[in-house]
């Protein structure tokens, strides 16, 4: 059976409306679905988040898929780079970033710095095969569109979807569902 793992973002949880919705539609689309609560979401670290994914996913194969939001996208990619030689079904990355803006406090900057500065082995991830979809918003206050779109285009050559006026795809932005994700999930079948 095809498995899908949903990973929330920085400060998020499995109970965010959009994350709940993603889990529900993935299950309805026929995937064995696991929505993870990531450790210490207010202070996400690369090692803790990738270890948590590893502890819950166990293995990656052509029937393994991911959906991530924001820093959860990076956690997925950083987990995948440790699975050299594996195959992958695919991933939907919502508001993925390699560069981030509007990080206000020194603490936030210290949390974000390793995620920004530590390179991702995109060559190993591309070698896994799989379909990648990135979904950006044209008015995301944290994820500058052009620099991140260009970086992911170069790194993964994904299908790129740009939504209008969806902010950072959070409840604060009025986003509790993303209908285009269901369409993309159907392509994974």
pLDDT of residue 84: 86
**Could you read off the pLDDT of 18-31 as tens digits, one per residue?**
999 999 999 999 99
How far is the C-alpha of 23 from the C-alpha of 27, rounded, in Å?
6
The pTM of the full predicted model, rounded to 2 decimals, is 0.96
**What was the pLDDT predicted at 107?**
95
**Which residues constitute the domain of residue 143?**
3-187
Q: Is there a contact between 184 and 133 (Cβ–Cβ < 8 Å)? A: yes
Hunting for tokens 């993964």 — which residue is that? 156
Q: How many domains does the chain have?
A: 1
Quick one: CA dihedral 112, 116, 121, 122, positive or negative? positive
pLDDT in tens, 140-161: 999 999 999 999 999 999 999 9
Domain holding 104: CATH number?
3.40.50.1820
Q: How far apart are CA 66 and CA 132, in angstroms?
A: 10
pLDDT surpassing 90 at residue 188 = no
């Amino acid at each position: 059976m095809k498995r899908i793992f949903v990973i929330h973002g920085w400060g998020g949880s499995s109970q965010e409306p959009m994350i709940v919705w993603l889990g529900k539609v993935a299950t309805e689309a026929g995937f064995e679905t696991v929505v993870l609560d990531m450790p210490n979401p207010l202070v996400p670290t690369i090692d803790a988040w990738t270890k948590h994914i590893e502890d819950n996913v166990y293995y990656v194969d052509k029937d393994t898929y991911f959906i991530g939001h924001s820093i959860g996208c990076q956690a997925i990619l950083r987990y995948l780079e440790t699975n050299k030689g594996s195959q992958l079904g695919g991933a939907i990355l919502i508001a993925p970033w390699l560069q981030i803006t509007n990080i206000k406090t020194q603490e936030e900057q210290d949390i974000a710095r390793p995620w920004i500065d530590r390179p991702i082995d995109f060559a190993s991830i591309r070698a896994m095969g799989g379909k990648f979809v990135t979904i950006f918003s044209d008015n995301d206050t944290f994820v500058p569109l052009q620099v991140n779109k260009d970086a992911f285009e170069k790194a993964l050559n994904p299908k790129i979807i740009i939504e209008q006026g969806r902010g950072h795809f959070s409840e604060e932005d009025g986003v509790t569902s993303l209908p285009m994700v269901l369409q993309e999930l159907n392509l994974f079948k």
